[in-house]
Amino acid sequence: MAEAGPRKPRSIVSREPQQTRRWADWLLDRAFRILIWVSRLLPYRARVPALGALDEHVLGPQAGNRRRAIHQLQFIWPNMSEPEARRIASAVLNNTGRTLIENYDTQSLLSRAKDWPLHGAGLDALDKARAAGRPILLITGHFGNYEAGRGAQVAGGKETSRHKHTTT
């Protein structure tokens, strides 16, 4: 008997009638708004790990995100052990929850970012381009919050913009 491959993630496209989906989407939106509002009552140092743990253990698995992450890991690294895939998938869910709530409190993120040193290949070229007034497009690979590098630059007094439009 042939071995079954990894389970395919369920489709995120609902087959429910459109009116039912609208109400479900509306309720889900309100539930997340309440969750974010309540979590913002917590101090930053408690809020970020709490949302990470909630996404890792409750929200992510319920939404099928753990299964989806494991499936993707098995696709990319077919020889990865199941415990290692589960460990990485859990870390991804935790990071997603932490990043989500960090981005709802930019001031706290920036106040923490002032202590983060910027380093790495290309930093001198970045500073030279900025000093010359040349536009810069950063394409990054990162672990953690995708806003962290930008936050460290802003906290260090270096103007950044995700989208900068100029008129001619």
Give the pLDDT band of residue 165 (cuts 50, 70, 90). very low
Give the pLDDT band of residue 54 (cuts 50, 70, 90). very high
DSSP class per residue in 101-114: HHTT-HHHHHHHHT
DSSP class per residue in 15-84: -S-HHHHHHHHHHHHHHHHHHHHHHTTS-HHHHHHHHHHHIIIIIHHHHTHHHHHHHHHHHH-TTS-HHH
Judge whether residue 13 has pLDDT over 70: no
The C-alpha atoms of residue 40 and residue 38 are separated, in whole angstroms, by 5
At 87, list the tokens.
């460990």
**Axis-axis angle for helices 65-76, 82-102 (nearest 10):** 130
Q: How confident is the prediction for the chain on average, in pLDDT?
A: 84
From residue 49, alpha-carbon distances to 61, 77, 100, 118, 150 in Å are 17, 29, 11, 24, 21
Mean pLDDT, residues 11-18 taken together: 61
Judge whether residue 166 has pLDDT over 70: no
Q: Residue-wise over 88-111: b if at least 16 C-beta within 10 A, else e?
A: bbbebbbbbbbbbbbeebeebbee
Judge whether residue 39 has pLDDT over 60: yes
**Axis-axis angle for helices 82-102, 44-54 (nearest 10):** 140
What pTM does this model have?
Answer: 0.71
The per-residue pLDDT for 101 is 93
Among 1, 4, 2, 140, which Cα is nearest to 74's? 4
The per-residue pLDDT for 67 is 95
Judge whether residue 58 has pLDDT over 70: yes
> pLDDT tens-digit profile of 75-111?
999 999 999 999 999 999 999 999 999 988 888 888 8
The per-residue pLDDT for 108 is 87
